[in-house]
Structure 1
Amino acid sequence: MTAHAEPLAPAPLSGPRFHVEPNALYSELRRTHGSVAPVVLDGDVPAWLVLDYRELRLVTGDPVLFSRDSDLWNQWDRIPDDWPLLPMIGRKQPSILYTVGERHSERARMIGDALEAVDPFALRRHAEQLADELIDSFCGSGSSEIIGQYAMLLPLRVLARLYGFADEQGPGLVKAMNDMIDGRENAQAGQGHLAKSMFELLTAKRAVPGDDVASRMLADPSGFTTEEIAQDLMVMMAAGHQPTADWIGNSLRLMLTDDRFAASLSGGRHSVAEAMNEVLWEDTPTQNVAGRWASRATTLGGHSIAAGDLLLLGIAAANADPQIRTHASSMTGGNNAHFSFGHGEHRCPFPAQEVAEVIARTGIEVLLDRLPDLDLATPDDALTRRPSPWLRGLSTLPLVFTSTPALGGTA
């Protein structure tokens, strides 16, 4: 593609189309701007949105030219202290998200090793037990808002147990995380509770190690500080919670509205995996990711990228790129070439991806086993999405079913 003769107005990375018709919006941006589109963030801050599969692979595969070092950003002098995206695009953050080079590789290895050591049978057992506990709280009512009562609770409860938290701390951690995600007025208090709990966990595990992720990270010989490990654990918890919750909700919605997956509602395991994989292609929880920064002036998709420019990774747009989708008759069932877990050295570590997949699949399977006649309480076109260009998930998913007794014996 050649450079445009005249600059085209950048598109705002906001508005209802991101949660009503995102794929149509990405197609429109592709037709207007090509494989890379100029966009503006809150406060008219400029950035580039990488839309096409090939260009996204180039950006994520070249960590030298397209760095994860946010200090490179050429817009910092325009960013106020209360900019709403600072939690996502922070400066000099000590977590793995913003480290580069050898130090990043060491941190990624530490995290991968700690998660890879999780017993997969124990992981599924934890997920089943906590799923049953949550279902017991509403199975006797005949109805449930499954996002708030289940999907937004299960992933973090499982992760908290894997990290080494006591089960009684789980509900408080879930509330703190969900407050942070929702941007509520007590979001700062939620962040404080999460940080305080994480440092207390590491202090306790340093004194008395256990068979858990926190203890394994503390025992790593690379010499990371308690603060660095705490930051990485918080990043892992946030990255593992909301996208996995949305993966559960988006997959359940697909299975309840598409006849191809009807068998799953009576225990068809294969269809659960197929639905989950299709969601990663067609309705991925992680829509757009910030970001990468150009370490020097370059060109991408026919556009001139200045040194220090911010590039946003258009995960959903690249997954829907018509050029890549035409190379296979079906890019969904069984094909894992999507970008939903990223690409390159900063992609989601494979053990973390596996943990998320076990939690989501177990959560769906246990729910279908316990409540086999699940059905939508409202029409599919009445369901709403959270208004976010970053993560795509349902605001609510009201379901009805035949009331059943709790496993503990209470109705």
Structure 2
Amino acid sequence: MNAPNPPDAPATEAAASGCPVAHGGPDSVTRLYGEGAASDPYAIYARLRERYGALAPVLLEGDVPAWLVLGYRENRRVLENPRQFTRDSRIWRNWKEGRVEETSPLIQMVGWRPDCVSQEGEPHRRLRAAVTDSIQAVAGRGIRRHVTHFATKQIDAFASDGHADLVSQYAEYLPMLVLTRVFGLAESEGRQLAVSCAQVIKGGEEALAHNDRIMKILGELAERKRDEPGADFTTGLLEHPADLDDSEVLSHLRLVLIAAHTTTSNLLARVLQLVLTHPSHLAGLVSGQLNISAVVEEVMWNKPPLAVLPGRFATADVELGGHQVKAGDLLVLGLAAGNRDPGVRPDATAALHGNKAHLAFSGGSHECPGQGVGQAIIETAVDVLLHRLHGLRLAVTPEELTATASSWEIRLDRLPVEFTPHHP
């Protein structure tokens, strides 16, 4: 079975290359970037599901073709079968054949690097062990204490005002400030790194420059920690028995920094949004009748911090979701779409208490290794905020809250609140 053909679409060079949008020109295939995608991504997922089923042809930034996996079961199949769907982008046909520029913002997200995400088998296990061991070592060294310190400092800056934007004044930078302690970085570098990490995920012309900035800061950090080791994640990588070389250390510092900050800041904003737009949630948390972990799980199902996960590459021709995927095709995983798959969740409004089978943490051998750290940051950040700010309430109607989407995520723009002012 050939790739699905949009009706009345002209033949293109893409068709000749065997890419997933065969016989479909750019104007006839859905783009996952730009203003159209930002307006209502969930409506796009629904339309694609209705037209194509569990797998749909899409265009990523620069009109690069890919398959978007929409079905929950199909996402699980891709995530849990690295022999069929590898994370190693060196087999990506459009890259090998020169149809993707080296300067493409997509390379920052799907390009090959000497890190555990880009590898499978024994190389993956070796590098993954270094990451998980180093994360576990720092996780027990006061993560919640660091969060409490920086959360208090952030709140002190606006507590006497009686109003704030909990995105720009709290959620957007707090995780990175915590990560500066985890990595052994200077606190002063936190805001600059937060901006650069967000730009790498967002894409666009500035993504490459921001990635270079991140690499420069992390390169200097690694050099410093060789001479001055400490009880931090960076030192853990440098001294791990897996014996990572310089490029492997730097690549993993980049990987964990970008992934941990962008996903945790987005998730924190969404958790606060849910709490403030549902009075029962707020009352339950303040009274202790509701556990914050239950609120986090609800957000993981309905608004995961990464809506689309890059990327996997078919190792051979294979059938998926009723469509024929060709060897070397790029697949991107629709985590948000899969979580709302009517086949496994016919009532998207039904309660999901205790159900942790969502796709938000990915799955298989590449499942997120820092779940515990992210959970600790969010739970502590919410707890500190609710206990510091009395009379906390949303300053606008829920309908006035807006979000901006890129190829990979949907971020809340702002979360204006009011509360009883007090002097810290």
Query: Same fold by TM-score, threshold 0.5 exceeded?
Result: yes
User: 256-265 or 242-251: which moved more?
Assistant: 256-265
> Which of 129, 132, 140 is 1:109 aligned to?
129
**Which residue number in structure 2 is paired with residue 138 of structure 1?**
158
SS in 1 for 2:379: helix
Residue deviations 1:232-279, cap 9 Å, x none?
011101001111111111111111112331314635373422221111
| 2:387 match | 369
- Confirm or deny that 1:216 pairs with 2:236: yes
**1:182 to partner: Cα distance:** 5.4
Q: Contact (CA 8 Å) 1:17, 1:25: kept in 2 or not? A: no
Deviations 1:329-372 (A, max 9, x none): 956222100000001111111xx011011101111111111113
Q: 1:286 is matched with which residue?
A: 306
The amino acid across from 1:405 in the alignment is: H
CA distance in 2, matches of 1:329, 1:54: 20
Name the residue aligned to 1:197: 217
Q: Secondary structure at the match of 2:134?
A: helix
Distance 1:31 1:186 in 2: 35
Native 8 Å contact 1:146 1:398 kept in 2: yes
Deviation at 1:296, TM superposition (A): 0.8
Shift of 1:141: 1.1
Give yes or no for the alignment of 1:87 onto 2:108: yes
Matches of 2:62 and 2:332, distance apart in 1: 16
1:404 match:
422
Moved more, 284-293 or 384-393: 384-393
- The structure 2 residue matched to 1:306, chosen from 308, 318, 326, is 326
**Aligned mates of 1:184, 1:124 — CA distance in 2:** 35
What residue in structure 2 maps to residue 58 of structure 1?
Answer: 77
Q: Note if 1:347 corresponds to 2:347.
A: no
Distance 1:371 1:267 in 2: 14
Equivalent residues in 2 for 1:2-401, closer than 5 Å: 7-8=5-6, 10-16=29-35, 18-76=37-95, 77-90=98-111, 92-120=112-140, 122-178=142-198, 180-181=200-201, 188=208, 190-264=210-284, 266-268=286-288, 270-326=290-346, 330=350, 332-349=352-369, 352-401=370-419
Contact 2:222–2:234 (8 Å) recurs in 1: yes
Moved more, 10-19 or 181-190: 181-190
Q: Is the 1:255–1:264 contact (alpha carbons within 8 Å) kept by the matching residues of 2?
A: no
Q: CA deviation at 1:40?
A: 1.6
Quick one: distance in 1 between partners of 2:204 and 2:326? Answer: 36
Give deviations 1:82-131, integer Å, cap 9, x for gaps: 323221122x3223321222111111111001111124461111110111
Distance verdict in 2 for CA 1:223–1:253, change over 3 Å:
same
Secondary structure at 1:243's aligned position in 2? Answer: helix
**Structure 1 counterpart SS, 2:130:** helix
1:332 maps to a residue whose letter is: L
After the TM superposition, which of the residue ranges 247-256 and 373-382 deviates more from structure 2? 373-382
- The one-letter code matched in structure 1 to 2:82 is P
CA distance in 2, matches of 1:395, 1:58: 33
SS at match of 1:285: coil
Letter in 2 for 1:361: E
Alpha-carbon deviation of 1:215? 1.1
Structure 1 moving runs of 4+ over 6 Å: none
Structure 1 unaligned blocks of 5 or more: 407-411
Q: Which residue of 2 aligns with 1:409?
A: none
Q: For residue 219 of structure 1, report the CA deviation from its aligned partner.
A: 1.0
User: What is the rounded CA distance, in whole Å, between the counterparts of 1:281 and 1:251 in structure 2?
Assistant: 12
Q: Kindly indicate whether the alpha-carbon contact (under 8 Å) linking 1:199 and 1:226 is maintained by their aligned counterparts in 2.
A: no
Q: How far did residue 293 of structure 1 move?
A: 0.5
Q: Count how many residue pairs are aligned between Structure 1 and Structure 2.
A: 401
How high is the TM-score relative to the length of structure 1? 0.90
- Whether the aligned pair in 2 keeps the contact of 1:67 and 1:293 (CA below 8 Å) is yes
Change (3 A) 1:187 1:325: closer
Sequence identity (%): 37
Shift of 1:184: 8.0
Equivalent pair of 1:384/1:394 in contact (CA under 8 Å): yes
Rounded to whole Å, the distance in 1 between the matches of 2:45 and 2:354 is: 24
Q: Give the 3 Å change call, closer, same or farther, for CA 405–186 of structure 1 in structure 2.
A: farther
Cα drift, residue 390 of structure 1: 1.1
Aligned partner letter, 1:370: R
Question: 2:352 corresponds to which letter in structure 1?
Answer: T
Q: Extract unaligned runs of 5+ from structure 2.
A: 7-27
RMSD, aligned CA: 2.4
Equivalents in 1 of 2:77, 2:172: separation in Å? Answer: 34
Structure 1 letter corresponding to 2:316: R
Give the aligned residue type for 1:287: A
Note the C-alpha offset of 1:4: 8.2
- Give the conservation status (yes or no) of the 8 Å contact 2:308–2:336: yes
CA contact (8 A) 2:41 2:405 kept: no
Q: CA deviation at 1:166?
A: 3.4
